[in-house]
Amino acid sequence: MRTRLLHRDRDLHDPPPAPPRAEELRRNLGVDRLLAVMAGGDDTLYRVAEAVLLGDVASAEDIRYRHDVLRDCLAHPEAVDDLRRIAADAVERERHNYFGLFTRATPDKVLYRSLDVLDMFVDAFAELRAACDRWRGGFTSAGFEAFFACVAAELDDEYLATVRAHLKELRFAKGELISMRLGAGAHGAGHVLRRPDRTGWRRLRGGAGGIDLDLDDPAAAEALTTLAGRGIRTAADAVAQAAEHVAAYFRTVADELGFYRAVMNLLAALDERGAAWCLPEPSTRGLVCHGIYHPVLALDTRETLVGNDIDAGDATVTMITGANHGGKTTLLRSLGTAQLMARCGMPVAARDYRGPIHPQVYTHFGGEERDGGDTAGRLEEELSRMSAIADVIRPGALLLCNESLASTNEREGAALAREIVETMRDCGITVVYVTHMYELARGLAAADDSRHTFLRAERLDSGDRTFRMLPGPPLPTSHGDDLFRRIFGTPTVR
C-alpha cells in the first residue's frame, strides 16, 4: 500500500528528524508561533508540521508535486478532512485498545489481539475505499491520482472478503491443529501449525492414542497452553507484524494528509488577515521575490504589513544595513521562514517568490547578553556558537546572521565577521547579514565583488522609517539620533 502524497516515489513512513541547532532556528525565526497556527490545537498536526517544516528538504520536482496536491486540497477541504479522519480514527483505536506487540504475552494472546486489530483495520479499509470512490472525481493532481488508484486496486471487494475469511480461519474456532515429532528426551520438537480441515480432524478423532486432560487441573491447563503456544508462535508473530504494517500505513495517510491540513490552516489565517501568499518556484539562480514579509508578524499584528522586494541576482552574500528600528531583523526572519516553507513545498509569505532551495538553514543572532554581560564573555559565547555552526554547515546552506560579533569593538568585530563571511562564501554558503558595523559593510562593498549585494533600510528626511529595504551602499550612521529625539525630545538651546 502506497500513499504518495508528499513524494512521487516514496511515503513519509517516519517524519524527518530535526536538524542540528533546530531550537536556535525556531527561536530566532519565531517558528513556534507559526506551528501553533498550523496545528490549530491538534497535537498530531503540530508534530507533523514541526517535523516537515524544520527537517524536510524536498527536491524541486517534489515541491511542484506538493503544490499540485495542495491545490486539490484547497479545492476539496471536506474530502481531505474526511480521508484524514478515517485514517486518524483507525490509528487512535489501535493505539488505545490494541497497541503493541505484546512481547510479554503468550502467543495465543498475541495472535487473538492482533486479529482484533486487523478486523478493525479491515473495517477502516472498507470505509477508506468507499470515501475514495466518493471523492475521487474532483481531484486532478498526480499525488491524489496515485493515492486513489492504489486504494482502488489493492482494496477491492474480493480482496477484503478474502482477508476477512483468513482472519476468521485464524481464530481456530474448533481449536488449533498442531503436529510435532519426538525430540531428545521424548520432548516435542518441530511444532507445525496445520490448516484445520475436516479430513485432519476426522483422522485425529478416529485414531487411537488420544489423551484426555482435566482442564480444572492448573498444571494440565498450563501444559496445554505451552504446547499450543509453541505451535502458533510463528503465526502469532506474522499476524502481529501484519497488524503493525497496516497501522503504519494508516499513520502515514494521517500524517501526509495532516501536513496539508496544517498548511490549509495557516493559509486560512493569512487570508483572514488579508495577507498575500504564493507558491514559490524553485530556481538555481539567486532569490527574486516581491512583497515578502514575516508571516508571524502578519498573524500577531493588525497594522499595515510592509513587504519587501529583493533581487539578489547571482550574489551569495547580502549585507543589510541602515537605520535602527528600520525592519532589518524582520526581513532576515522573513527570508529564513520563507526558505523553510519553500523547501518543504509550502506556500510562502510573498506576492511571488523564485529562488534556490537550501538543504540547511542556520541562524546566528548576536547581541544576547548571558550571565550578566561581560563583553569578553559575550564574544566568546558568540564565537562558540559560530564554531558549532561551522562544524555542521555544508555547501549550499543558508546562514542568517543578525548583529553577529557586535559584542566587541567595531574594528575587531568587523575583522572577525569579514573573515567568517568570506570563508562561508568561498565554501558555497549563502550568507545574509544584518549589521550596524560600518567597517564590515564598507570593506565588503569596497571589494567590488559581484557576489556581494547590499540593502539598506529606508529612512525618510523626517526621520520616519518605512520598513522597506532598498538597494544601496552602507552609510557610516545608523541614525540613532532619531531614536534619541523620539525618546527625549529635541534639545532646547539655552
pLDDT tens-digit readout, 176-192: 666 667 777 656 666 67
Q: Same domain for 258 and 355? A: no
What letter represents residue 19's amino acid?
Answer: P
- C-beta of residue 459 within 8 angstroms of C-beta of residue 323: yes
Residue 493 lies in a domain: no
Residue 199 lies in a domain: no
What letter represents residue 393's amino acid?
Answer: I
Of 249, 272, 295, at which residue does a domain stop? 272
- Please report how many Cα atoms fall inside a 13 Å half-sphere around the Cα of residue 324, on the Cβ side: 9
Range of the domain at 96: 58-172+241-272
- Cβ-based neighbour number of residue 89 at 10 Å: 15
Q: Same domain for 122 and 101? A: yes
Q: Same domain for 389 and 266? A: no
**Per-residue cell: 81:** 478532512
Count structural domains, the chain. 2
Residue 235 lies in a domain: no
Strands of 377-434 (E only): list them.
Answer: 398-402, 430-434
- C-beta of residue 22 within 8 angstroms of C-beta of residue 54: yes
Q: Same domain for 97 and 152? A: yes
CATH label of the domain that carries residue 329: 3.40.50.300
Q: Same domain for 78 and 159? A: yes
What is the chain's length?
A: 494
| Residue found under cell 519553500 | 342
Residue 152 lies in a domain: yes
CA distance 112 to 115: 5
Q: Same domain for 429 and 322? A: yes
312 three-class SS: coil
Q: Same domain for 152 and 300? A: no
- What is the model's pLDDT at position 102? 45
Residue 407 CB contacts under 8 Å (≥ 6 apart), including other chains? 366, 367, 375, 378, 379, 382, 413
Residue 441 lies in a domain: yes
Strands of 312-451 (E only): list them.
Answer: 317-322, 352-355, 361-365, 398-402, 430-434
Where on the phi/psi map is residue 339: left (φ > 0), alpha (ψ -120 to 50), or beta?
Answer: alpha
- What is the model's pLDDT at position 283? 95
Residue 402 lies in a domain: yes
Q: Tell me the per-residue pLDDT of 373-426, one tens digit each, with 9 for 90 and over.
A: 555 688 999 999 999 999 999 999 999 999 999 888 999 999 999 999 999 999
- Cβ-based neighbour number of residue 396 at 10 Å: 14
Residue 229 lies in a domain: no
Closest CA to 8 of 50, 84, 52, 67: 67
- What is the model's pLDDT at position 481? 61
Q: Same domain for 402 and 445? A: yes
Q: Same domain for 250 and 357? A: no
Q: Same domain for 263 and 314? A: no
Q: Same domain for 137 and 264? A: yes
Residue 181 lies in a domain: no
| Residue found under cell 502469532 | 236
Note the Cα 210 to chain centre separation in Å: 61
Q: Same domain for 268 and 343? A: no
Tens-level pLDDT at each residue, the chain (494 residues): 899 999 999 888 777 888 999 999 999 999 999 999 999 999 999 999 999 999 999 999 999 999 999 999 999 999 999 999 999 999 998 887 654 444 457 777 887 788 888 899 999 999 999 999 999 988 999 999 999 999 999 999 899 999 898 888 877 766 666 666 777 765 666 667 767 665 554 555 555 555 666 667 776 666 666 666 666 777 778 888 888 899 999 999 999 999 999 999 999 999 999 999 999 999 999 999 999 999 999 999 888 889 999 999 999 999 999 988 899 999 999 999 999 999 999 999 999 999 999 999 999 998 654 444 555 688 999 999 999 999 999 999 999 999 999 888 999 999 999 999 999 999 999 999 999 999 999 999 999 999 999 999 998 878 888 999 999 999 987 555 655 556 666 665 55
Terminal-residue alpha carbon distance, the chain: 85
